Structures are given as C-alpha cells and as structure tokens.
Amino acid sequence: MPAKPGSSRDVAAEITNLIIRKLEEGVPPWSRPWRSEGGGGRPLRHCGTPYTGINTFYLWAIADAQAYRSRYWMTYRQAEALGGHVRRGELGSLSVYYSSFKKTESNPVTGAEKERSIRFLRHYIVFNADQVDGLPAYYYGSMQEPAPLDPSVHQDAIDRFFSAIPADVRHGGDRAYFSPTFDYIQMPHPRTFRTMDHYASVRGHESTHWSGSASRLARTFGKRFGDNAYSFEELVAEIGSGLICAHLGLPNELHDSHASYVGHWLGILKGDKTAIIHAAAKAEQAFNYLSSFSNGDDAQEPEADTAAGAVPVAETA
C-alpha cells in the first residue's frame, strides 16, 4: 500500500544505502540493467514517460536486485486504474522529487522582509509491473532473450550521437581523457577497443567531462566536496556514460581506468547521503546537453554553477 502522507522516512539515506550496496557488490546501477534479462532502457512510468535523475538509477538498482523484467513502474492507484491489482505482500519502492515552499524572513536589524525558496525532498511509493496482476500484456517484460542487434544499427546510432557534438576529439596513444586546459578529448584509436560499443562507452564518459567545461555547463562542486571534487566529477562522468549507453542501446561496463575510483565514490556516498542525488542530477543535465546536439536543439548554455569556492576540475580521465 502507498505510504501515508507525512510519513517520516530518510529517503536520501535509503537510496544512498542501496547504491552503496550495489557498488560494493561490483554492480554499479548505471552500468548493469540494460545488459540483464528483460527490457533495457530507462525505467518508465505507467504512461510510458521515462524516469530521470536519481529515480533512473535507484529503480534500475531495485529491478536488478529483485530480478524484475518489466521497465514499468506505477503507484497502487495507477495500477488499479489500469485494471490491475498489486499482489498481497508486495513491497513498494521509492520515487522521489524535489518540492519547495516560500518562507518570509525579517532582517533583525532593519526589519526588511525577504522571501526565499526552500527545497525539500518528497517521495511516493511505486510498484514494478511484475508485482501487479491483470495489466495489459505490454507492461510485462519478455520471457525470451531479445535477438542480438545488428552491429550496423549500433554504429549508426553511435555515429549520429557523437558526430553532432562539436567537441575536438583526437585519437592516438593509450589513454582516454579530457583536457580542460586545451579543451579537447583524447581517445585511443577505435581499433584498440574490444568493440565499438566499448569505444562509445568510454567516449561517452569523456564527452560528459567535456560538457562540464567552464564555457559550457561550468560544472563545479565548490567546498561541498573539497578534495573529493575530482572523484565526484568522475562519478558524474561514469553515470553520464551510463545514460548515453542506455540511450543508444549499448552495453556499458566500468572501464578499467575508472575502477580505482569506486573506493572514493563509496567514501563520498557514505559521508553525504544526498551526494548520489546530486551526481545523478548533474549527469542528467550533461546527458540532456549532449543529446541536444543530435536532437536538433539549439543547445543553449544553461546557468553555470555558482557554488562558493568552486574548484576547477583538472585533466579528467
């Protein structure tokens, strides 16, 4: 049953704890789900709208842990409206969003009043379609493995996505990185990768770094993450790569050169229960920015981060 309004749950901690557990199991939720059985791609609301931000990775992690095959999630009432019913004893999962309210404060010296907006995390309970009986057939995941995709279909999608991004990409050597000083992406030659899917995964990681440059999204983290800012940027880039791979229908594996960051990520997440929500939001922003080039949007520059004491990101792998 849905949680009662006003019930007190530390939803940020619940989400963070699950992400930490999946990382410790060696299964980052932004890289696993579309390689497992059942439907790939982002989790979907009952109406077919994809989830975004932290909900994407949290519901991916839940689906992976519970072996759900369906991509669809819905509230108890939405399931009833579709003619289904949640099976007795099934436990729901969290779906979160930010809300806000206005608060007027008075200056104790001048008496002047100032209104400010206060954001807070809200949640509701959703169930996977696999927990619901009686839904139309298309809500349920296929019981058969999908046929392998023609590599040319993958390649067309890879080329269309990355060729539209106006980044300076150079090939050669045995390292992949983004140089913020000279504003270019360095990649090994495609032929050195096991497959073009792996090449696209790494290029998605570096393109996410590219999106955060001072002349584009100006992604900085300031004093909040301090010495961990570099590792946090790597987390954003890895999640961004996961979103790109899911968008293109590609597999995504944690690249060897990034495996050493897992320990740092765990430290950040254990020290700040809202860090993964922040990272997911930044990765989503980067993905939308990169996608806008191939979608034919104007790709206008969004507002830059204005965190106090912002720390510029050094050359990022």
The per-residue pLDDT for 147 is 57
> Within this chain, do residues 62 and 183 fall inside the same structural domain, yes or no?
no
Mean model confidence pLDDT for the chain: 81
The per-residue pLDDT for 102 is 78
Phi and psi at 296, nearest 5°, equal 85, 10
> Within this chain, do residues 157 and 129 fall inside the same structural domain, yes or no?
no
Upper half-sphere CA count for residue 49 (Cβ side, 13 Å): 5
Asked whether residue 80 is domain-assigned, the answer is yes
Whether residue 206 is predicted with pLDDT greater than 60 in this model: the reply is: yes
**CB contact set of 271 (below 8 Å; sequence gap of 6+):** none
> Within this chain, do residues 172 and 268 fall inside the same structural domain, yes or no?
yes
Predicted TM-score of the model (pTM): 0.73
Q: Are 312 and 221 in contact (CB under 8 A)?
A: no
In the structure, what pLDDT confidence band is assigned to residue 107 with cuts at 50, 70 and 90? confident
> Within this chain, do residues 121 and 176 fall inside the same structural domain, yes or no?
no
Q: Are 102 and 117 in contact (CB under 8 A)?
A: yes
Overall number of domains in the chain:
2
pLDDT in tens, 140-172: 976 655 555 566 578 999 999 999 999 999 998
In the structure, what pLDDT confidence band is assigned to residue 192 with cuts at 50, 70 and 90? confident
The per-residue pLDDT for 104 is 78
pLDDT in tens, 252-301: 554 554 556 777 888 888 988 999 999 999 999 999 999 999 987 544 44
Asked whether residue 57 is domain-assigned, the answer is yes
> Within this chain, do residues 279 and 161 fall inside the same structural domain, yes or no?
yes
- Domain containing 50 equals 11-104+114-139
In the structure, what pLDDT confidence band is assigned to residue 98 with cuts at 50, 70 and 90? confident
> Within this chain, do residues 122 and 183 fall inside the same structural domain, yes or no?
no
> Within this chain, do residues 274 and 175 fall inside the same structural domain, yes or no?
yes
Instruction: Give the span between the Cα atoms of 203 and 21, in whole angstroms.
Output: 27
pLDDT in tens, 15-46: 999 888 888 877 777 765 444 444 557 899 99
